[in-house]
Amino acid sequence: MSDLNRIVNKILSNGKGILAADESNSTMTKRLDAVKIESNEKNRLAFREILFSSQSIKECIGGVILYDETIRQKDSNGIGIPELIISNGALPGIKVDTGAKSLAGSKEEKITEGLDGLRERLKEYYDLGARFTKWRGVYTITDIYPSKLCISSNAHALARYSALVQEVGMVPIIEPEVLMDGTHDVMTCFKKTAEVLQKCFEELEMNNVDLSGTILKPNMILPGKDSDEKISRYDVAKLTLECLKNNVPKSVPAIAFLSGGQSDIDATDHLNQINIINDTDFIMSYSYGRALQQSALKFWSKDIMNKLGTQDVFDHRVRMCSFASRGKWSESIENSK
């Protein structure tokens, strides 16, 4: 087992998952505005510190993805945020892309930027305590998208990023997200996700990325959120598993799904169904942002001094996802709180 593979297993083994707390300041402002809390550095840190010091971080979270602002901050006791996370048994990670911009040659689509100067930034993040990273490519489904240009351009960027990350001894999370936005049916999502994954792994292998030292963070196979198609959670799980089995090399050790705008319960139940029928060697876990944080954020916004109450809400959601990562979640467990 390589050092990178050991990191993957530390993050995602034994029912553990990843807390995605890497929202940019602009995204976090939207989240805080929605619950009528002022978005400033103090409040962003206060909410995140509550999560990072919770009991579920020790029990159910193996890694926390941070934003550049957060990895440099200290908590209310003067402890660096990476040190706080490590002390609770998880590993700090860092978002390293600089966002999705209009793709030259196909202006309606996006290309993720951030490769310039990445080698130097990675060395700094490693010194700050990060041991894994995240880069997100986004793909929109319409009658003509995603284009081959978008699929190829983002796959190349994900591969170059991954090679640079492994060069400094960190694990890259590879996140090719086929968005839920649109009216497409579930089989269109299946087909387009397959195309995206095939191209990503073609580029990763071409760039000599050690797949055993990576984590794939894909979307689940779902109809567009504006589609009228009805599909059972079991069928979502079945199609998602089929797509991954057909298009992800067996040398990839772990898959940590994004929630992609699903509700808390949908994201939990879909993951649970996937693990009930999982007949692969892939670890199937979670790397959720809103699906872990939103209920806690709403509770916290009513009384930002209620740390324990907020942690209680957060801990419940995380534990439910941990059950789901082992195929042991149920509605009765969900509602037993």
CA distance 91 to 65: 9
3-334 CATH, one of 3.30.70.20, 1.10.3720.10, 3.20.20.70, 3.40.1210.10: 3.20.20.70
217 is catalytic: yes
Quick: pLDDT tens for 20-44.
999 999 999 999 999 999 999 999 9
Instruction: Provide the Cα torsion 94, 97, 99, 100; round to 10°.
Output: -130
Q: What's at 184, amino acid-wise?
A: H
Q: Which residues of 280-292 are buried (b: 16+ CB within 10 A; e: fewer)?
A: eebbbbbbbbbbb
CA distance 187 to 120: 42
Distinct helix (H) and strand (E) counts, the chain: 14, 10
Low-confidence ranges of the chain (pLDDT < 50): none
CA distance 16 to 283: 10
Both ends of the chain: CA-CA distance in Å? 39
Query: What residue spans define the domains of the chain?
Result: 3-334
pTM: 0.97
Predicted local confidence at residue 336, as pLDDT? 85
Q: What's at 280, amino acid-wise?
A: T
| Catalytic site residue from 23, 109, 175, 177 | 175
Predicted local confidence at residue 337, as pLDDT? 67
Judging by beta carbons within 10 Å of its beta carbon (0-12, 13-18, 19+), is residue 55 exposed, middle or buried? middle
Predicted local confidence at residue 1, as pLDDT? 73
Quick: pLDDT tens for 65-89.
999 999 999 999 999 999 999 999 9
